[in-house]
Amino acid sequence: MTPAVTVDCGAVLFDMDGVLVDSSGVVERSWRSWARRHGIAESVVMPLIHGRRALETIALVAPHLDAQAEWQVLIRQELEDTEGFRAFPGAAALAGSLPLDRYAIVTSAPRSIAVDRLRRGAIRVPAVMVCAEDVSRGKPAPDGYLLAAERLGVPAGDCVVVEDAAPGVQAGLAAGMRVLGFTTTQPAEAMGAATWLVPDISCVRAGEPVADGVRLTLTTPRR
């Protein structure tokens, strides 16, 4: 059995979808419907949807469309469709065990969807949450993670990012942070140079409080 790993940091910065909540069915149904409506092959769209803001995905696959208008359509679809949605087991307990000034959520989702999904999953809404509207560049740019660290007052290099998709891993590393990757959405080989890999949030525990920070224990780490 792989020994557990202890990680000390100043703050934990969570992605949301694929990390705290399982919204994959909702997101994928929404994008497939959108692709069919515009006559775009799903094989072109689907590999690009995880970890990115919808604005960036639309710009990549359909630059001729009004990305803001199309984004609003996708938001409405995802707010109305909750079939199969769930919080990952252990997510609410882990978030609830962390000091409010020591964790944040950095998501590519708009704030309306982020708050709705956290509340549906009975996950505490943190004091610091950076959403799609809060940055001019989404993941894989580091802007969201750097903004979260700034708002928490924690040096970027003392933060640990928790991600499930390659663009988010790239964003965390570009911000100078360590990255804990989950293989809930993409396979391990897609997670690039993530510092650690575990299957999901059930493998993460909050340890005893440490001075000016958080202690996490990772069970069954792959590296």
Residues listed for the chain: 223
Tell me: the pLDDT tens digits for 139-153?
Answer: 999 999 999 999 999
Rg of the chain over Cα atoms, rounded to whole angstroms, equals: 17
pLDDT tops 80 at residue 10 = yes
The answer on 148 and 197 residing in a single domain is: yes
The answer on 108 and 43 residing in a single domain is: no
The answer on 68 and 19 residing in a single domain is: no
Distance between CA atoms of residues 167 and 192, nearest Å: 10
* DSSP code, position 17: B
Q: Dihedrals φ, ψ of 94, to 5°?
A: -65, -50
The answer on 169 and 74 residing in a single domain is: no
Annotation says 17 is catalytic: yes
The answer on 62 and 10 residing in a single domain is: no
The answer on 19 and 31 residing in a single domain is: no
Boundary residue ending a domain (36, 61, 80): 80
Tell me: the pLDDT tens digits for 98-135?
Answer: 999 999 999 999 999 999 999 999 999 999 999 999 99
Tell me: the pLDDT tens digits for 72-107?
Answer: 999 999 999 999 999 999 999 999 999 999 999 999
CB 107 within 8 A of CB 18: no
The answer on 111 and 14 residing in a single domain is: yes
The answer on 113 and 31 residing in a single domain is: no
Residue 194 lies in a domain: yes
Residue 28 lies in a domain: yes
Annotation says 134 is catalytic: no
Boundary residue ending a domain (55, 80, 105): 80
Marked catalytic residue, from 17, 22, 143, 200: 17
The answer on 35 and 15 residing in a single domain is: no
The answer on 169 and 60 residing in a single domain is: no
The answer on 72 and 93 residing in a single domain is: no
Residue 223 lies in a domain: no
Boundary residue ending a domain (37, 62, 80): 80
The answer on 213 and 185 residing in a single domain is: yes
Marked catalytic residue, from 8, 15, 81, 116: 15
pLDDT tops 80 at residue 209 = no
CATH of the domain at 180: 3.40.50.1000
The number of distinct structural domains making up the chain is 2
Q: What is the DSSP string of 51-101?
A: TS-HHHHHHHH-TTS-HHHHHHHHHHHHHH--TT-EEPTTHHHHHHHS-GG
pLDDT tops 70 at residue 1 = no
Domain with 130 in it? 5-23+85-218
Residue 55 lies in a domain: yes
